[in-house]
A and B are shown apart, each in its own frame.
Chain A
Amino acid sequence: MSEKISLKKIESKAYLAYYQDGIYVLLVGLSFICMALGVKNGFMSLAAIAPVLAILIAPGLKKAITLPRLGYVKFSPQRERKEQTNRQRLVVLMTVTALLGVLVFFGYSGNAAWQMWIRSLGIIPLSLVLAVVASALGLLYDIKRCYLYAAIILTAFILSHILELSLWFQFGLPGIVIFVTGLVLLIHLISQHPKAPTEKPHEV
């Protein structure tokens, strides 16, 4: 049994090595900062585009920074299946989040009864959704620091609701914390793992 556990740990270590590069964290933090800047300066399109851009450039950064340093690994079919299930769950979660986000957005722009009710809740529903997404990521990928991000998001949103601070603070504080964490992880990866020497051409 202990052998089974240790082999599982070996597999987890290999798998998690790919999430310790900080690239996704950095991009999520950057998205939050863009949202904060967008909200503060009235560029709502920036807030909407930032997460999409982050998703688009992440694979390229991974290929340019992580792969030459950590190498390439193809995980077992069981892990690939688990990963696929996780991705499907994430898509569902993100869709629900996006729908709730749209609902909250429209909630602030009208005078119908339900819109008044959403307005009365402030931005707290959105913070709950974001915190649930962060916690779900932590649970699905076994990355404990995601729970910390969820706590920071909730704290920032609730604090600013109580103290009547601007939206900039609600997005900006978690954004800066997440961005700095990602930056630290990325610097750690680059300093600890310089690019490995490239293989010599194969003999024919």
Chain B
Amino acid sequence: MSEQSSPPDVRPLADINQVIHAPARLMILAYLYVVESVDYVFLMRITGLTWGNLSTHLTKLEEAGYIEITKGYRGKKPHTTIRLSNQGRVAFQQYKQSLQKVLDDLPD
């Protein structure tokens, strides 16, 4: 009878933050994590998302409390800036750690 190693425990994958895990939202948070603040146009260009798509994802992230959206003006034109909230920063760090842990435990 051959000795079998126990399969890796991937149950923590089920606990992965689903709000962050969506590729588009992960991309948005990754950019917000490394800058202070951005506007809609910059996020749209750098992520390649459409205006409507971006708006939907930002709403979800804002509802989760991960980003702060500030509506203001640059000159006379409306200008909305987006930044990562403290809660969002912590959630993103936790997401990184948990995903990294699960992936590190998987065999090559």
Contacts and interface: CB of A to CB of B under 8 A. Distances in A.
Given A70-B42, A71-B39, A72-B42, A199 B34 contact: no
Interface stretch (B7-15, B16-24, B44-52, B59-67): B44-52
B41 A70 contact: yes
Contacts of B34: 7-8, 10-11, 14, 76
A196 B41 contact: yes
A75 interface: yes
Contacts of B78: 198-202
B80 interface: yes
Interface in B51-87: 51, 71, 74, 77-81
A193 B45 contact: yes
A87 B47 CA distance: 29
Interface residues of A, number: 27
A107 interface: no
Contacts of B100: 3
Given A69-B45, A199-B78, A202-B80, 7 more contacts: A3-B96, A71-B46, A72-B41, A72-B81, A75-B36, A196-B44, A199-B40
Interface of A: 3, 7-8, 10-11, 13-14, 17, 68-77, 79, 193, 196-202
Interface of B: 30-31, 33-46, 51, 71, 74, 77-81, 96, 100
28 contacts: A8-B34, A11-B35, A13-B46, A14-B35, A17-B46, A69-B41, A70-B42, A70-B45, A71-B39, A71-B40, A71-B44, A71-B45, A72-B39, A72-B79, A73-B35, A73-B38, A73-B39, A73-B42, A74-B36, A74-B37, A75-B35, A75-B36, A76-B36, A77-B36, A197-B51, A200-B78, A202-B71, A202-B78
